[in-house]
Amino acid sequence: MKELLKKLSFLNGKDLADFFKKFKLMAPKALRVDVLREAMAPKVEEQLANTSGGFGIGGQNNYRLLWFAKLSEHQLEKYLSTFDDPELDNKYHNLLVEKMLAYAAEKKVKKADMEELVAASEDNYRRVGHARLDMEEFNNSLDAVFYDEKSCCDGLSVSEFRGVLFNVGTREELFEIAAKYEIKVPERLNKDELLAYCVRQMKIEKYYTAEAEAALSEMTAKDLREWAKNHNIQSGSQLNKKDLIEYILSDYSKTKEDYEVPKDDSVYEMAIPLPYGQEEVDVEALEAKIAELTAEKEKLEKAAAKSTRENNRNKKKIDKQDKEIAKLLALIADKEKEYEELKAAKAKVKEDKAADKKQDEAIAKLEEEIKALQIELAVVKAKEDEGRELTEEELKEARRNFALDIIWLIFFVLVLAFLMYAIFSML
C-alpha cells in the first residue's frame, strides 16, 4: 500500500470520487473531518501560540481556533484554504487518499483495482505537472462520496452543530452550508417570504391549519410581522443565526425526521472544547456515575447501620451463648481428660495383657520343656533300672565265683597242710 500511495501524489478529487462511485462506495464525513483535524492540528497549535491575534476568517481572532476540535467540515475546509500552505495541502491530500483507500480495502476493494488510480495520477501529472492542487476544488469534487450519519449535519451532531455554529459560526457560513446541502434559505424576508416562513414554522411546531394560512395571507406586511413576533417567529427582514441554524436542521434530510424545536436558548450554550487530541470528559456520564456511587455508598451505610443494630440486639444472646459455649467447652475438656485417662488405662491393660500373654507363652513353653525333660528323665530312669538289674546278676555270679574261689582256696590250703603234715610226718 505504501508503494501505491507514493504514486498517487497527483491524484485529483474527481478521479478519486469516480473510483468510489465505480464501486458504489460512500464514506462517512467523520473520515474527512478527522483527516482535516489531524493534518491541520500542528498549524493550529502554532497559530494559537502566536498571541498577536488578527488571524482567521473574516478577521476573527484566535478565539475561533480554540473551537478547532469541534468545527464543522465546511469550517475546517475554509481554514485549510485560509492557511494557504502548499506543504499542509500535500499533507492533507496524501493523508485523505490513504484513509479513503484503506476504507475501500475494508469494503473488499482489491489492491489490483486500486492500481487504476496510478494511471489517473500519472495522467494528471502529465497535464498539470507540479502545479499545486486546488484544495477547494479537490474537496468539492469529493462531497458526493461522503455522507452525514443520521441526526448529524456537516460532520457534527445536532447539539454540536447548534453550539458550534451559534458561538463561532457566521451567517455567511450558515448560508454556505445551506447551499452545500441544497437547502434554500431566504436571505431577506419580504411579505411573501415572511408568510412562507411563518407557514413553515407552524408546520414544524404542528399547529398549522389551512384556515390559519389563509388568514395570514390576508394580513398586511406590518400585521404579519406583528403576528410572527407574538408567536416567537423571526419577524425582521433577515434571519438571525439561531433562525438559520434551525432552518437548516429542520430541512436537512439527515436531521429533519427527528427535528424538535428548541424549548429555550440553552441548546446554543456550549463550553470551549478541549484542544484536539485531548479526550473529553463526559460530564453527564461522570455526574451520573458519581450519583450512582453516592447512592451505593448510602445503601451500604444503611446496611452497615442495620447490621450494627442487629449486632447490638444480638449481643446479649451472643454473651449467653458464649457462656453456654464456655461451659460446654469445660465439660468437653473434662470428658476429653477422662477419655485420655481411659485410653491410657486401656493401653496399659493391653500392655499387661500382652505381658500376660508372653508369660503364658513362656509358662506353656516351660511346661512343654518340663514334659520333655520328664519324658527324657523317664527314659533315662528306665535305662538306669535296666542297668541296675544286670549288675545284680553279675554280682550274684561274682559272689558265686568268689565263694567257689574261697572254697578252692580252703581246699588248696587243706591240701597244702596235709602235704606239709605228711612231709613233716615222714621226717
Domain presence at residue 126: yes
Looking at residue 286, its pLDDT comes to: 66
With a cut of 90, say whether residue 404 has pLDDT above it: no
Q: Which domain, by its residues, includes 189?
A: 2-268
Express each pLDDT in 322-367 by its tens digit: 787 888 788 788 777 877 887 777 777 677 666 667 777 777 777 7
Share of the chain above pLDDT 70, in %: 88
Looking at residue 175, its pLDDT comes to: 95
Highest mean pLDDT among 8-17, 342-351, 381-390: 8-17
Count of beta carbons in the 10 Å neighbourhood of residue 387: 9
More confident residue, 140 or 129: 140
Pairing relationship of beta strands 152-153 and 156-157 according to DSSP bridges: antiparallel
Helix, strand, or coil (residue 54): coil
Domain presence at residue 359: no
More confident residue, 369 or 33: 33
Looking at residue 108, its pLDDT comes to: 92
Domain presence at residue 205: yes
Cell match 484513509: residue? 99
Looking at residue 163, its pLDDT comes to: 97
Cell match 473510483: residue? 19
Domain presence at residue 203: yes
Domain presence at residue 115: yes
Looking at residue 57, its pLDDT comes to: 45
State the helix-helix crossing angle for 191-204 and 210-217, rounded to 10 degrees.
160
Domain presence at residue 282: no
Residue pair 39/95 in contact (Cβ under 8 Å)? The answer is: yes
Express each pLDDT in 144-184 by its tens digit: 999 999 999 999 999 999 999 999 999 999 999 999 999 99
Express each pLDDT in 88-109 by its tens digit: 999 999 999 999 999 999 999 9
Domain presence at residue 342: no
Express each pLDDT in 224-233 by its tens digit: 888 988 888 8
What is the domain count for the chain? 1
Lowest average pLDDT, out of 251-255, 350-354, 419-423, goes to 350-354
The 8-class DSSP code of residue 124 comes to H
C-alpha distance from residue 308 to each of 33, 109, 287, 305, 322 (Å): 59, 68, 31, 5, 19
Domain presence at residue 241: yes
